[in-house]
Structure 1
Amino acid sequence: MEIDKYDLHLLDALQRNGHASNAELAEQIHLSPSQVSRRVQRLEQAGYIERYSALLRPAAVGLGVTAFTAVSLERHAEAHTDAFNAAVAAMDEVLECFAITGEADYLLRIVAPDLASLSAFMLHRLMRLTGVRSVKSNIVLAEIKRTTRLPLDHLLARGG
């Protein structure tokens, strides 16, 4: 599916406020609400829009500690990585998990109410997963930037 500048502006507007009505979006990108509705539906069906959600502030819901944790596995056979992936996917404390290159195999973003809870999670759940060789964590001291908004300017530069 080809997208044009209106689609890009619509995607950007939705990233800024996924709760905006079609009328609000139409005013921002200079189209009618019915055109916006059709474009949003088309973008959803084409997979540009994955889902809509409310972004909660972790500290406001009692999750005051964030850690970025590098995990290395003992073995890299498919069965071991599949088991690790499934176990981590089921852990609510793990917000994101990426398979990475470099010294570690995975990088996780983990939230917890406090350091004691984070410690208990690490010692009693994460480090006890079969095949985990090492775990190294960095605790976030201050959040400088946090966004879910993807940059789209590179698409505009290509003539979108």
Structure 2
Amino acid sequence: MHPDRPKPDLDAMDRKILAELTADARIPVAELARKVGLSKTPVAARIRALEAGGLITGYRAVLSPIKLGLTHVSFVEVRLSDTRQEALSRFNAAARTIPEIEECYMIAGGFDYLLKVRTRDIADYRQVMGEKISTLPHVSATSTYVAMEAVIEQKAPDLT
């Protein structure tokens, strides 16, 4: 853990509640209370406290990219021609506007960013690469790696 960032003050009950909500965010409070061994009122209060403390940042539906026809996953290494703060900020802002970029990480290493790009197929990916990703601010080079199979995807953090 980073020394400047406080470790969340979670007890075993909070961890149980978070694990259950991670598995099923739509679980009724009464059922959640039964599963963790508390009554509804303290469970609801703990959930509100976890939300207020920023540990729970929201709830969302997890969609199946396969059922949506988005079966092609590529990872793209991006090298920039300029890595000063203004250039990084411009790249970040522009990357956020491309819906096919599912994840984007700034990397310390031999390249500057790693993108996870999800499209329908290789032809769709080629269009996204040519018309969107390669035109992002300060992009000087890219390398693409095509995923053959997702072994682990959207894994929840270990709360123990």
TM-score of the alignment, normalized to the shorter chain, above 0.5: yes
Structure with a larger share of its residues in helix: 1
Deviation of the 1:142 alpha carbon:
0.8
- RMSD between aligned alpha carbons? 1.1
Deviation of the 1:69 alpha carbon:
1.0
Other-structure match for 2:144: 137
1:125 corresponds, among 128, 132, 135, to: 132
Other-structure match for 1:156: none
Structure 1 unpaired stretches of 5+:
154-160
Q: 2:54, 2:111 → 1: CA distance?
A: 31
Deviation of the 1:79 alpha carbon:
1.3
Other-structure match for 1:100: 107
Q: Which runs of 4+ in 1 moved over 2 A?
A: none
State the TM-score, normalized to the length of structure 1: 0.92
Deviation of the 1:90 alpha carbon:
1.0
The answer on 1:9 being equivalent to 2:16 is yes
Deviation of the 1:26 alpha carbon:
0.7
Q: 1:130, 1:49 → 2: CA distance?
A: 33
Q: 2:24, 2:144 → 1: CA distance?
A: 33
Q: Structure with the greater relative contact order (CA < 8 A, sep ≥ 6): 1 or 2?
A: 1
2:143 aligned counterpart, secondary structure? strand
1:59 aligned counterpart, secondary structure? coil
Other-structure match for 2:68: 61
Query: Does structure 2 conserve the Cα–Cα contact (< 8 Å) formed by 1:15 and 1:148?
Result: no
Mapping for residues 33-112 of structure 1, pairs under 5 Å:
33-112=40-119
Q: 1:56, 1:10 → 2: CA distance?
A: 23
